[in-house]
Amino acid sequence: MKILVADDDSRSRELTREILQAQGYQVAEAGDGRQALEALAEALPDLVLLDIQLPFVDGFAVLRQLRQHPGGAAVPVIALTARAMRGDREKVLAAGFDAYISKPVDRRRLTKEIERLVQAKLSGGRREGDSSPPGRR
């Protein structure tokens, strides 16, 4: 299973990569929004961890473009953000992200969210931010 980690903070990306590789995942990385879009154009990953505040193209715009890509609607996307203000989680989920994790990333929470989203994808079930019927995303 391949996961794209798009985060402009190299230390965060490195830590996340180490966590994911320890779990057996293949990891692709992007340091800004343009790199994330290039990686998505090359090959769709099985899951995306996407920082909201990316240089050049923010996480919301990357998500919108991913969702327009053939097959992109089925790719689970977890928002990673240092912003943890009241209402941010709801805004992120309403924009179409499947889950929201604030930084610094908690290893157990990240692993649990990934497992939950992978299981939902495999079973065709609903994800946290999904208001559509199963099988319609």
pLDDT in tens, the chain (137 residues): 999 999 999 999 999 999 999 999 999 999 999 999 999 999 999 999 999 999 999 999 999 999 999 899 999 999 998 876 777 888 999 999 999 998 888 999 999 999 999 898 888 754 454 433 333 33
Location of structure tokens 């908690």:
106
pTM of the model: 0.87
Angle formed at CA 130 by CA 97 and CA 113, multiple of 5 degrees: 60
- The predicted pLDDT at position 35 comes to 98
The Cα-based distances of 35 to 4, 27, 91, 108, 124 in angstroms read 11, 14, 24, 27, 29
Q: Domain map of the chain by residue range?
A: 2-123
Which of 69, 3, 61, 64 has the alpha carbon at shortest distance from 30? 3
Do the Cβ atoms of 46 and 14 come closer than 8 Å? no
CATH tag, 2-123: 3.40.50.2300
The 3-state DSSP class for residue 42 equals helix
User: How much is the pLDDT for 132?
Assistant: 38
Candidates 44, 5, 51, 9; CA nearest to 25 is 5
Supply 134's token pair. 């199963």
- Residues 10 and 54: beta-carbon distance below 8 Å: no
Query: What is the reported pLDDT for 89?
Result: 86
Are β-strands 77-81 and 47-51 bridged in parallel, bridged antiparallel, or unpaired? parallel
| pLDDT score recorded for residue 125 | 59
**Chain centre to alpha carbon of residue 120:** 14
